[in-house]
Structures are given as C-alpha cells and as structure tokens.
Amino acid sequence: MTTHTHARRVRVGSTPLRQGGALALLLAALATVSACTTSEPASQKPTTPPSSSSPAPPTATKETPEEAAKKEAIAAYQAYWAELPKAFAVPAVEGTDLKRYAAAEALNKAEETVANLKSNGRLMTGKPVLSNPTVTGAELGKKTPNASVSACLDVSEWKITDKKTGKPAPVASTAVSKYVITSLLERWDGSWKVLKYELHADQPC
C-alpha cells in the first residue's frame, strides 16, 4: 500500500493562559489611564470631540471550498472509525454504515476481518480512539478528488474476545498500541470514502 505523508501534531501548551494574563494587564493599564483622564478639570479638556477608539467589529472569514472539502473528508474518516468497531463487535458488516464510508481495499480488509472473526468464534470488544485527524495532502481539482489523512490511533482498549466465554482471546502482544495511521480517501458522487490505510507501528504517538 502507498504510504501517505503525515503531519506532526502540535500540542496546545500554556500559551493561551499567558496571553490571557497579558490581556488582563493591558485592560488594567487602560482603566488606570482612563481614571487619570477623567479626573482632570473640565477646562483642560479639548473642545474638539475625541475620536472613537472602539475597534471595528471583526469581519467573518468565509470558509473556502477547499477548507469545506477537507472538513467533509475528516468527518467521513471519523465516521468510518465509528462504524468499523461496530462491524467487528457483531461481527458483520450488515447492520452498519461501513459501506457508506469505506470502499476498495479498506472495505475488503474489513470484510476479511469479519470473516476471520466469525470462523474463529471471536469478536472485538471496546473501540479504538482516533485523535487529531489531519489532512496532509489533497487533490481537490481532479475528476475524482482525493485527500490524504494522518491521525493517531489508540487500540489499547480494542480487544479480541472469545464469543462463547466473553474472555479476551490469546493474541500475540505488541509493544506499541498507539501509533500513527495514514489513509487515502476519495470523493465518489459527493461522498468521501476511505480507500486504504497503513498502520505505522514504528511511529508511536
């Protein structure tokens, strides 16, 4: 499978708090200046009316078609990861909306996994946690628009379980359960679908 580039996610630190503190100090300083000005005698005030210092209202930034398309791709990608665990919990693709959000290789892999779970009398409990999905590349002007998405996938609470006993099935342990996943989506007839994905166990996140 083709590996698509992924973007590093930037953690939000304490910058907003520092900015908030600076803003509070600025407002306090402005209040002090205002108090000093109003205490002056009326005769010392300028006769010309002061100009308004009120800031102009911010103008709303209109979302571009490209930004809207990327948001739609991310929403479809998140929906795909919401439907996939539902299919593996039965296990069956029927009764889920997986085919609405997956096609080609991604759908084939899901159906193969469902078949393997059935034949071994197993299912999957819990669910994966997908965080920070980001569009890392897009070709939206093509006849069939596509987008590459990178995210962090945590599968630590997604367990293979014996269907009869309800107990965890013995599986080979892995050192990493939270890693980068890259995926390719295409828009078919106005709907985004996940076509394929690649797990990067060597890239913990």
Place of tokens 């889920």: 96
Torsion of CA 92, 93, 94, 99, to 10 degrees: 180
**Do the beta carbons of residue 82 and residue 102 sit within 8 Å?**
no
- For residue 53, what pLDDT is reported? 55
pLDDT recorded at residue 24: 30
What pLDDT score was predicted for residue 133?
97
Site of tokens 């379980």: 161
Burial call 23-46: b when 16+ CB within 10 Å, e when fewer: eeeeeeeeeeeeeeeeeeeeeeee
Q: What is the pLDDT along the chain (205 residues), one digit of tens a residue?
A: 333 433 333 333 333 323 333 233 233 332 332 333 334 444 454 455 555 555 656 566 788 989 999 999 999 999 999 999 999 999 999 999 999 999 999 999 999 999 999 999 999 999 999 999 999 999 999 999 999 999 999 999 999 999 888 888 876 666 678 999 999 999 999 999 999 999 998 999 9
- Which of 136, 164, 138 minimizes the C-alpha distance to 150? 136
pTM: 0.69
Q: What pLDDT sits at residue 58?
A: 59
